[in-house]
Each structure stands twice: as structure tokens, then as C-alpha cells.
Structure 1
């Protein structure tokens, strides 16, 4: 018995998914426009649109109004109860990492270092960061070049911490934040605020704003002492 050929919609899904999973089409790659795919597969444009919609629902494709469809960036996962190094998390996903400092200044009394910058994954904005480092506890930070090294990466490598507190919120990006992240005003984002201490002494406070489609916070729990 001759096996029936898959319908055009299924062929489109399987072909595009195969290119993505094989690495032929990297995150951010622009997918051919719907008219081109319709001609290539000999089907209606509506069939192509449906197939791309299903790929988007599976997290493989990102559809941007008036811009087309692109290979989606896989979300980065981080455990809620840890202090993650974004450079390490992004690199682990196979994406090129880059830090771009926007401003570095001392506080009015010189007791704290204020740093603002953007973390990039595959040359696209991943997170906006605003950080305060307490120089009384971390004096070496005053002589560190945070134009070339992300402060979080440096702190994790040089300054041990003993406790941390996370506050996580869903927020909408305001104008300046949206511009830094390359999204529209009001785009849903994940805000993470974290304070870390060494003993009873503050080390750093950071606010990181992530595009909502690029970052997952994951917590795993085991029941203990339940009867």
C-alpha cells in the first residue's frame, strides 16, 4: 500500500521545525514570507498562516505584526532560589552573550556604585539591568571595569553572599525600558528585584527587566514531613 503524502500544512510544519531543531535556522532567522511558502508548497496562504500559527503556539516561531515570522529564541530557565549568572545561562542555550553598559556613576556620598546596562542574547536585548553595589562591603568594585564585564558575573566570581531575597512581578515596559529591550511600549515583561547580603551587610541590589517571552523562572519542590 502506498503511503499518502502529508498534507501541505503538515509538510510546512515538519520542514520548518526540522530546520530549526537541526540548527540550520538559528534563533532570529527570518522565515520566508507566507506568499513564498504558499508557492513553494502549492497551497493556499491560509494554510501557511495556520501552520505558522501552530509553530508559534509550540514556541518555535515568533510572529511579528508587519515584520513577518522569525525563529523564536528559546526561553532561558532559571531556578527561583538561586542567583543566576545571565552570561552563563544564555551561553548554555547556545546563544552569544554580550553586556552593554549604559551608565556607571557613584552615589552622591560615594558609598555606592550605580550601574545600568543591557544583557544581549544573540545580539538581541534580553534584559535591562539597574544595579547598586555597596562599596563599603565591596570596595574592589570601584576599580573594576564594568564597561566590559557584567557586574553580576563579577560579583558571583569574587564576592561570596550568604542570603538573598527575590521579588518577582509582571509589569508593562514603559517608554525608556521598552526602547532598551527593543519592544513596544506596554509590552508584558518580567521584573526581578533581588537583594543579596553577606551576613547582615548588604552587597548589592539589582532590578532586572526581562522580555516576557525570553525568560522562565523555575522552582522545584519536594514535600517534606507531610503526614
Structure 2
């Protein structure tokens, strides 16, 4: 992977495209990854020269990216749209109680334990929402996979398998429900045509509100590091 030297050095992902007519730089709002798109026949040296010409803008953009906050006892995180504070506790499992998220065990492992709790909760919520929406349109979800994706909140494969970001469980429940409806709608239309959005509207009327929330607030869900 080419690197733009400096302090700190910046790794750049080169992405060749037959459709590209010029060089373009993009910084991911989710993870800070720098991608330089270039025409298929362009030389890497020319691409890196372009990157150097944009170095001022690039470093300014990267400096403004939010850093990931390590989660531990005392941290406040969103869980199903509610802000809960991690509190050391006794017992066997992480549990929600009022405005607190009670975390037993070694405090040094609190972030990892909460991450595992959120993933299990996300699976319960997303499987239930996916099956419910699929039932409305007479389709079947083959399997649900959770990942910590940076570029998308969900996806649908041609074989009926759905993938979601487990961080959706940190968003308000209505947002998670909309994303499940969106991906289930792809079981009918594997595109984003007007027919697809008609299916989404049938499954989740008024989906535009939740979509706007994701665009405005979704990035913040990636700002927490759970020890992984």
C-alpha cells in the first residue's frame, strides 16, 4: 500500500476504475481510510503526485476526524437510543438497569464484556425484525450475520442471507427496524429502483425519518472502541 510520507505517514488505498477520468481523493467519514481513485491506465507515480498536491487538505481533513473512545467503567454509551453509564457490579452478566449498564467482573475487561453484550442484543433484535418484515412479504431470511462494518449498515445476498452492523443496536429501535426493512426489501428487489422503495414503504412507512437519522447521527456509533 503506498504511503504519503510525513508526520504521521498516511496510507493510501489506490482504486483503479475504468470509468474514472481523473484522480480523486476521498476520506471515509467512518474510519478515516484514504482512497485515491484513478483511471485504469494511470501510473501510480502520477497518482501519488496528485496526493502530494492535496496534502494540505488531506491532513486537515484527517485531523478533524473523530477519534474512537475506549469504553470502560464510567463511560456513557448509547444502547437502543438511550444513554447508559457503565457501572461496576456483581453477578454473572451485563444487564441494563435504569440509566445504568451494570458490568460485573474485572473492570479492565468491561469494554469487551459490553461489546459482547451489545452483539448478542443486536442479534436478537435484528433476527426478530428481519423475520417479521420477511413474513409480511412472504419471503424467508436464510441467515443473519453481524459484522462491525464501516461502509454500510446492512446488505442482502442473492441467496437470502442478510448482514448487519451490530452497532445498529446502539441506535434508536426505530432506526434498527428501518434498516432491517430496507435489507428485507432486497429479497424482492435487488436494486434501489422505485419498486424497491415501494416495498420499503410497505414494510416501514415513513422510513425517510430514520434514514435521515443514520446520515446525520450514524457516524457517532463508530466512535466507541470496545477493546477489540
TM-based fold match above 0.5? no
Greater C-alpha Rg: 1
What's the TM-score, normalizing by structure 1? 0.21
Q: Which is helix-richer, 1 or 2?
A: 2
Q: Which is strand-richer, 1 or 2?
A: 1
